[in-house]
Chains A and B, each alone.
Chain A
Amino acid sequence: MHVSKERDRMVRKVLSVFALLLITGSMWAQNIKVTGTVKDNKGEAQIGVAVVIEGTKTGVSTDVNGAYEIMAPTKGTLVFSAIGMKKLSIPINGRAQINAVMELDNVLLDELVVVGWGTQKKENLSGAVSSVNVSKTLQSRPIADVGRALQGSTPGLSITTTSGALGGDPTIRIRSNYASMGQGSASPVILLDNVEVPSLSYVNPNDIESITTLKDASSTAIYGARAANGAILITTKKGSKDGRTTVSYSSNFSWATKTKVPITSRPDLELDYSWKQRNGLALGLGNTPTNEFGQIGPVYYNPDMIVKVKAYYDQYGLGEGLDREMVEGRDFEKRPAGGFYFYRGWDLENMYYRKWAPQQTHNISVAGGTEKVKYNMSAGLLDQKGILKLFEDKYQRLNTSGNLSVDVNKYITLRSNFIFTKLTQDSPFSFTGSTYEPIYYMYRWFSTYPEGTYKGYETRSPAAEMAASKKNPSVAESWYTRISLGSTLNLAKGLTANFDYIYNLTAISSKAAGGYVTGINTFNTYPAGKDLDYWYQTYTSSSYDYVQMTSSRKMRNTYNANIQYEKSFGKHNTKLIVGTNIEDEEYVYQSSKRMGVIDYNFPELNLAIGDQTVASSHTDWSVLGFFGRLNYDYDNKYLLELNFRRDASSKFRDGMRWGSYPSGSAAWRLSEESFWTAVKPYVNSFKVRGSYGTIGNQDVPSSLYYPTIYVTNPSTSGNYWLRSANFVPYTNTTVGGTTGGTPGLINPDLTWESISTLDFGIDARFFKDKFGLTVDWYNKKTTNAITAGEVIPSSIGASAPRRNYGEISTKGIEIELNFNHIFRNGLEINLSGQYTDYKSVVDKYPTAADPLYSAAYYNGKVMGDIWGYRVERLFQKEDFVYGTDGKIQTQLLANGKTVNVFANLDPAYQELYQSGNFRFSPGDVKFKDLNGDGIINYGTNTLSNLGDRTVIGNTQPRHQFGFRVGANWKGFDFDIFFQGVGRRNLWATGNMILPGYTGSESNFSHTLDYWTEENTDAFYPRPLDYAQTAQWNYQISDRYLLNLSYLRCKTLNFGYTLPQKITKKIMIEKLRIYFSGENLFEWDNLGGVAVDPELDWTTITENDSRSFGRSYPYRRTLSFGVQLDF
């Protein structure tokens, strides 16, 4: 990968000067003067191309117009060469003018890749390192952060999000989701110019020069301690020494719409389906159905009323053309016994979601320098609006950064840089507690639930609540500041020393003010005869009458020092680095909350009069480590790298603190051997490599090694013992709420977890570099994982003390392919792709002799496996035996359950899953009797006897891939990037996935394919109300398991760069305009289930089993932008 184009250009110039220096002037008598210009295949004049007479050291280099002039023998040959271009030889044949067209060399074999504490030539890499094509991955895309942009860019790098919510960091994993067993985190370390950055959101994509992913232990070892799960190295753009100042400006305007969201079904079909669900048990028993149901408060429905809903829909649709005011007699009618029949369906999607949410980004940067001074300054702004219509939710980022480097004299370079980022996020205040967000309620009730106004009053709905929080949005802000000071000492030729001190401050604050919402409380029951505005009241609980502010700051000091020495002896090249890395961090958090805000125009803590609650947190840790690395190669053929790191962490007690971690890698470039000559035209480069190493993981909770008493302060609505209005401890009259937890059993000898990686790889290039292939196989194994102690009986009353015991390993494969070609007409195409797959298996864990299949870990467990039943089909009428009365015959079993009698099965076939008034009947699910015992059951629930359960899927993303097709032609550029996951399963609950999960709530268009006597090959079973439990037909099974594999067009980019001839006239170096799209379309295997395939349970939806899918939608974005360089 290119470090950057600027750098290439610089290197090219420097080498040209070298070339010139080598020329010793020997003129031949029969020489003629040859002139000409050198251009590339796009017609751009090439500056600084070396033009040398073959077989001599005579040569010149081209000037700024690409022109050259040389005295050369008439029968000689001119050789044109430049870095990044294919060497070109042209016989003179007596001509006086020779114009040359040089072709770009597709692969820069001298390409430099950023590695730990330095750079390495790509051809000389021996570890598993991938670099990202920064210009294609980050530039001219309407993305809000680097994390999401990296999705699909690098083999082995997995980027996932759980919803389309604004802000926040995606989950980033390198090679495994399970490096640790419950204690440690599996997150890779993200290093920005060699220092950890807490979140990728703090980095302006535009400031990035390179991104490299270090995947194996050998590559990351040098970072030790926190790089056990891999490292993502980011370097920022620096100034250049060429004396020129460049100014770049880019901007992008985009509009986002939701991707794939569920659509509420037609109002009457929805009500009808719900009515059938709630009568499902009665109808199944042949009882008379209940005629009428309430949904909530005054909302009732019955078959007669559903007919009117249909009539309303036929006449008015979803109220298009009507205003929101509800008219009695048209939109609803009074129910004689109190409450109402609501006929009007609401177009919730249009009410709640914006059609297009705008976003804009602007970036400006200035870079330049002189011989001694280099500088770079940049500023960026991102303003992203959310998709909510009734509340303007938004996400903003402001970045500034500066970089200055000064050569004081030939020995000393001083440098300093700063980064400042501010993030702001506005979201609506949640009057329904932290469990729910507006979208939960939007999808909760039928579309006929009153969402309009009556007599001008809003009804109780998220719309009213979002409107109420408009004035006081919940604001979360964070500020990231980094100041670094450093110096490089050029001590002698090849010997340098670097010293850096970096201070990081991350401050995060939030403010939320609740209040009261007044409206028509349509959650209350209405006495007969009362109008809809009878319950016009303040309906929110007083527990939301508060203002709360939180703030935290995280301060980190980093001290880095290292000495590097580089020397070659003949064909032996060596490079040595030794250094130290010391870090400490302190984290302080506090929150204050006060009830009873006087005036919500001024929601401040000191303008509130109620009770106050505060909380805080305070933690710190420190690590220090020493490292060394030796690189050796012989003739660029045999490559060897040895690393050593010794680390200490405050997370372990004195005596268990230090760990030593050696690692190494080696590679052999077979293509440089003489025996390869025959194959060289086909395989011009071939390298095999291998690495092995171990790194310590200290990313585990603090204070694991001594017993603590955790003190809990009372929180609002908590389950605590109330004593007094004031919580003042230590007197016998006012202790209240504050409690001390039981100290656990501890193991003082806990120490580092070790993560080892064995990696074998091949790098090959074919057909003169047109085609490239990289393959890696690895086995990443965690040993000494901190796990639960040995299995002990419950009688001890505590978990067994943790110990360094567990082992878990991940084996995987990564493939990277690329292809480049330039056609004679100048059309350049490039294709690239990457593929990753891995699987994590528990090797060692304190496992019961016959563990429960549901245990979090046991020996041999494949992480993410989902156990469940296989479904054969739905039962049909002919599966049952009927009596003379036409009813299904029943039988009373010994355990008191009455079951329907099957024609060809044991009456107790699925009896285990029968409860209450539910009996398996036509339209219900028939599970497969996998063990052939004639009965469906789960055996002992343990691995030795799982009855009819088997592995039906896996929650981990498998077969992750991405591929890109790009083309350039005469200033036009085109690039399309696809990304996908080959397999991911999820067992989800809630009405979107399992219709009838809550019979009184929404039904969706995609769930209407349910079993009836007329629709016998339906996908969903007969309508039933499952009372919020995955029971009866909804045992975990393959039939209703989500298949979240997908192939998505992540990015499409189409641009045009104006010819320089034109732009130069207006002093513009480069002007590019483009169109770009994100998430434009996708293919998935959800079989009609209308949720985005990237969706997962979020921390909010996990709180309620009904709510899968009721989270913030993903975005589909169209954008236009401009890039300008002066």
Chain B
Amino acid sequence: MKKVLYIIIAILSLSSCKDYLNKPSLNQFDESNFWTSEGNIRLFAQGTYTAYFMGYGSGYTWGDYFTGGAWADEYNSTSLWGSTTATSSTGWNFSYVRRHNLMLNRVENSTTITDEAKKHWMGIARFFRALEYSDLCATYGNMPFYDKELLPTDLDEIYKDRQPIGEVVTKMIEDFDYAAANVRVTDGVGQINKDVVLAYMVRKMLYFGTLLKYHNLDQTVATAALNKAKWAAEQLIAGAKYQIVDDYRGTFSTNYNLSTNKEVIFYREYLEAKATHCLVAYVHQEGQTGTTLRVINNYLAADGLPIKQSPLYNYSASKYYSEAVQGRDPRLLASFADSIRISGVTKLMGYSTTGIACRKFLPYAADPANLIYMGSTAVTATPLIRYGEVLVAYAEVMAELGQFTQAVADATINKLRARSIKNNNVGNALPKLPNMVVSGTNITANGVVINDPDRDPTVSPILWEIRRERLAELVFEGFRKSDLKRWKKYKYLKTVETAGPTDISMGAPFNFYRWGSPADAPSSPNGKNLIAIRNAFKTKGSLYVFTPGDSTRVATYNLFQSSSRRDWVEGDINYERQYFTSVPLDQIKLYKDMGYTLTQNPGWDTIQ
């Protein structure tokens, strides 16, 4: 009996032991003992990379390349102006703001790392914060700015109304400045370094400088931002570490990594069975949503003149697609297929809804027998930011600041035009464009003053040509919609004029009765195929006929006659509101319930 009692007492005393119930986490870091080494901080920072440097995406998730051109003229979209008021908070998300503020605070308070490391990682955190706010402000305009981790009890902070975008851009400039001054010049392969900070500074400051300027949001900050972009670009140019490479298409279609590409400042790396994407398959064998005739028409003729002005091009000759792409800015053939690609015409490359197929991202060696070019298994590295973009942005910045001189043109656009590009990387180089020459308020090519009949009269001739160069250089890199937004030029996206379709609602022009090579005789297999396609077109009625009754010159795509016509009425709030997204209604209501105010963007007051 006594023994039993002892056993009971022993058990009861064991169970009162506090240690038995202390079970600290075994496979996650307890935050309180995490911020102790640079390795841990690096690990934390790594978790942010794919948020801003998504590149070609991963698996079947897209990045901004190629499809980033949707809703712009790069990529035909059948959607109407369809944005509706957001009722819940998708997109209105501050979790990265909090993450970067938390990192900044923890690094600053770490007692176990060197001062140099502390400054570097604080610089990284502030660089991330600037990138995050640039995304938020690009979407919503005005935003509340936070520079510290908030608690639910900080009511006046968390319920703060949106601040004017100019104030936020000023904070962004401070963050970029701090990062540029403190981030290491080198920090290992594939890691953010000072040059990466400078390059993104050029991209983002150009964006906000022009956005504030053209939307007239804050002219003082606009100028400050443009000057920051100028400064950052000049740092990179003066550093002389980067140069323009000849193989334009190769920069976008090299497998694995771009460590030896002198033009690339920062890239995303891929590897079989580890990190792969689907962009190659999309431009390869699958059908792609094609680009518009507008984009093709943007490229200069080889004589350096716009096609409607160029005697070499001879616009009135009504060219077919395969003719139209010859004798042009060589970047055209580096970015697009040299002949029409339509569903059913089986070629190595995929087909496109407009007949114009992008091949900028297609490796020269792409082959359906090789699995890395199919499905989501592509391993081509993404040039996240490259020197070519810095130069074309610098040219634009200087023009906006009224400082675009011949010297600037030579240091920027004429460097890009000096590339030696071959069609499909074989044979002789295509003819280069002549240098851009500044002549007062005009641009000349081979001594001829450029006078593009399509020029928007509100845009100066110099700026018009720089913007043309930007589209040619950066096509399908995910900029076009944001460019039109910052220039306040969404009206370019209307698919219809009174006279008929704009070139944004048309695809590749071709001869309805003869296209392809002479080998495509009606009796050949391909010829039979062409007849079948032709018949399909006839019944579909989706062709645009340039001259009524004459089917020898038609365009493959015709948004004008479909029900997806897209208009733009300047001054009409239902259209103008597309520039800034609606603030979610649930948030506005929550602020109101708590006695605070969260201001909505114009035009989104009602649910539509």
**Residue A712 CB within 8 A of the other chain:** yes
In the assembled complex, the CB of A896 is this many whole angstroms from the nearest CB of chain B, namely: 5
A723/B190 in contact, CB under 8 A: yes
Task: List B contacts of A611 (CB < 8 A).
Answer: 273-274
In the assembled complex, the CB of A300 is this many whole angstroms from the nearest CB of chain B, namely: 9
- Bitwise, B88-120 to A at CB < 8 A (1) or not (0) is 110011111111011000000000000000000
**Residue B607 CB within 8 A of the other chain:** yes
In the assembled complex, the CB of B186 is this many whole angstroms from the nearest CB of chain A, namely: 9
B152/A792 in contact, CB under 8 A: yes
A732/B187 in contact, CB under 8 A: yes
Which of these binds chain B: A285-293, A365-373, A858-866, A1049-1057?
A285-293
In the assembled complex, the CB of A454 is this many whole angstroms from the nearest CB of chain B, namely: 18
**Residue B439 CB within 8 A of the other chain:** no
**Nearest neighbor of B257 in chain A, beta-carbon distance:** A722
- Number of interchain pairs (Cβ within 8 Å): 305
In the assembled complex, the CB of B538 is this many whole angstroms from the nearest CB of chain A, namely: 8
B47/A525 in contact, CB under 8 A: no
Given A499-B7, A528-B346, A738 and B31 contact (CB-CB distance below 8 Å): no
- Bitwise, A1067-1105 to B at CB < 8 A (1) or not (0) is 000000000000000000000000000000000000000
Given A702-B23, A709-B31, A742-B98, A337 and B344 contact (CB-CB distance below 8 Å): yes
**Residue B501 CB within 8 A of the other chain:** no
In the assembled complex, the CB of B357 is this many whole angstroms from the nearest CB of chain A, namely: 14
Task: List A contacts of B188 (CB < 8 A).
Answer: 732-733, 735
Given A497-B4, A622-B20, A793 and B590 contact (CB-CB distance below 8 Å): yes
In the assembled complex, the CB of A98 is this many whole angstroms from the nearest CB of chain B, namely: 54
Task: List A contacts of B150 (CB < 8 A).
Answer: 795-797
- CB contact list, B253-271 vs A, under 8 A: 268-271
**Residue A489 CB within 8 A of the other chain:** yes
- Bitwise, A477-495 to B at CB < 8 A (1) or not (0) is 0000000000001010000
A930 to B575, CA, bound (A): 32
**Nearest neighbor of B256 in chain A, beta-carbon distance:** A722
Task: List A contacts of B80 (CB < 8 A).
Answer: 895-897
**Residue B21 CB within 8 A of the other chain:** yes
Task: List A contacts of B584 (CB < 8 A).
Answer: 794
A729/B43 in contact, CB under 8 A: yes
**Residue A718 CB within 8 A of the other chain:** yes
- CB contact list, A611-641 vs B, under 8 A: 611, 616-622, 624, 626
**Residue B458 CB within 8 A of the other chain:** no
B540/A288 in contact, CB under 8 A: yes
In the assembled complex, the CB of B569 is this many whole angstroms from the nearest CB of chain A, namely: 10
Task: List A contacts of B533 (CB < 8 A).
Answer: 337
A967 to B189, CA, bound (A): 80
Task: List A contacts of B23 (CB < 8 A).
Answer: 620-622, 650, 702
A43 to B529, CA, bound (A): 89
- CB contact list, B501-558 vs A, under 8 A: 525-526, 528-529, 532-533, 535-536, 539-541
A129 to B540, CA, bound (A): 71
Task: List A contacts of B20 (CB < 8 A).
Answer: 582, 584, 622, 624
Which of these binds chain A: B34-42, B242-250, B305-313, B332-340?
B34-42
A711/B11 in contact, CB under 8 A: no
- CB contact list, A93-148 vs B, under 8 A: none
A657 to B344, CA, bound (A): 69
Given A620-B26, A706-B31, A291 and B539 contact (CB-CB distance below 8 Å): yes
Task: List A contacts of B377 (CB < 8 A).
Answer: 541-543
Given A290-B540, A648-B21, A717 and B40 contact (CB-CB distance below 8 Å): no
**Residue A524 CB within 8 A of the other chain:** yes
**Nearest neighbor of A703 in chain B, beta-carbon distance:** B25
Given A291-B539, A738-B46, A850 and B525 contact (CB-CB distance below 8 Å): no
A790 to B151, CA, bound (A): 12
**Residue A940 CB within 8 A of the other chain:** yes
A794 to B18, CA, bound (A): 39
Task: List A contacts of B582 (CB < 8 A).
Answer: none
- Bitwise, B310-346 to A at CB < 8 A (1) or not (0) is 0000000000000000000000000000000000111
**Residue B191 CB within 8 A of the other chain:** yes
Q: How many residues of A contact B (CB 8 A)?
A: 114
- CB contact list, A824-866 vs B, under 8 A: 848-850, 852
A742/B563 in contact, CB under 8 A: no
B15/A617 in contact, CB under 8 A: no
**Nearest neighbor of B23 in chain A, beta-carbon distance:** A650
Given A721-B268, A725-B271, A742-B99, A794 and B30 contact (CB-CB distance below 8 Å): no
Task: List A contacts of B42 (CB < 8 A).
Answer: 729-730, 732, 735
B59/A723 in contact, CB under 8 A: no
B21/A657 in contact, CB under 8 A: yes
Of A528, A745, A796, the most chain B CB neighbours within 10 A belong to A796
Task: List A contacts of B464 (CB < 8 A).
Answer: none
Given A561-B11, A611-B273, A848 and B590 contact (CB-CB distance below 8 Å): yes
A149 to B533, CA, bound (A): 61
B272 touches which of A291, A542, A729 (Cβ 8 Å): A542
**Residue A743 CB within 8 A of the other chain:** yes
B12 touches which of A338, A529, A580, A725 (Cβ 8 Å): A580
A672 to B51, CA, bound (A): 74
Task: List B contacts of A850 (CB < 8 A).
Answer: 589
**Residue A951 CB within 8 A of the other chain:** no
- CB contact list, B146-205 vs A, under 8 A: 146, 149-152, 157-160, 187-191
B539/A792 in contact, CB under 8 A: no
A539 to B30, CA, bound (A): 45
Task: List B contacts of A499 (CB < 8 A).
Answer: 7
**Residue A898 CB within 8 A of the other chain:** yes
**Residue A1059 CB within 8 A of the other chain:** no
A1090 to B32, CA, bound (A): 56
In the assembled complex, the CB of B383 is this many whole angstroms from the nearest CB of chain A, namely: 15
**Residue B67 CB within 8 A of the other chain:** no
Given A337-B528, A740-B44, A793-B159, A801 and B29 contact (CB-CB distance below 8 Å): no
A703 to B23, CA, bound (A): 9
In the assembled complex, the CB of B31 is this many whole angstroms from the nearest CB of chain A, namely: 4
**Nearest neighbor of B188 in chain A, beta-carbon distance:** A732
A723/B528 in contact, CB under 8 A: no
**Residue A456 CB within 8 A of the other chain:** no
Task: List A contacts of B95 (CB < 8 A).
Answer: 742, 797-798
In the assembled complex, the CB of B143 is this many whole angstroms from the nearest CB of chain A, namely: 9
- CB contact list, A900-942 vs B, under 8 A: 915-917, 919, 940-942
A789 to B152, CA, bound (A): 9
Task: List A contacts of B425 (CB < 8 A).
Answer: none
**Nearest neighbor of B274 in chain A, beta-carbon distance:** A722
Task: List A contacts of B589 (CB < 8 A).
Answer: 848-850
Given A287-B541, A707-B31, A723-B190, A797 and B98 contact (CB-CB distance below 8 Å): yes
Task: List B contacts of A732 (CB < 8 A).
Answer: 42, 187-188, 191
Task: List B contacts of A717 (CB < 8 A).
Answer: 58-59, 273-276, 376
Task: List A contacts of B47 (CB < 8 A).
Answer: 712, 739-742
**Residue B586 CB within 8 A of the other chain:** yes
**Residue A808 CB within 8 A of the other chain:** no
In the assembled complex, the CB of A4 is this many whole angstroms from the nearest CB of chain B, namely: 31
**Nearest neighbor of B27 in chain A, beta-carbon distance:** A618
- Bitwise, B571-584 to A at CB < 8 A (1) or not (0) is 00010000000001
8 nearest A-B pairs in the assembled complex, by CB-CB distance = A797-B98, A739-B47, A730-B39, A797-B94, A337-B529, A732-B188, A650-B23, A740-B44
Taking beta carbons and an 8 Å cutoff, which residues of A are in contact with B? Answer: 282, 285, 287-292, 336-338, 489, 491, 497, 499, 524-529, 537, 539, 541-543, 545-546, 559, 561, 563, 580, 582, 584, 595, 610-611, 616-622, 624, 626, 648-650, 654, 657, 702-703, 706-712, 714, 716-725, 729-733, 735-743, 745, 789-798, 800-801, 848-850, 852, 894-898, 915-917, 919, 940-942
20 sample A-B contacts, Cβ–Cβ < 8 Å, listed by A number:
A292-B536, A338-B529, A542-B371, A563-B8, A619-B26, A648-B21, A709-B28, A720-B50, A720-B275, A723-B189, A730-B37, A730-B43, A733-B188, A736-B46, A736-B190, A797-B96, A801-B152, A848-B589, A894-B574, A895-B80
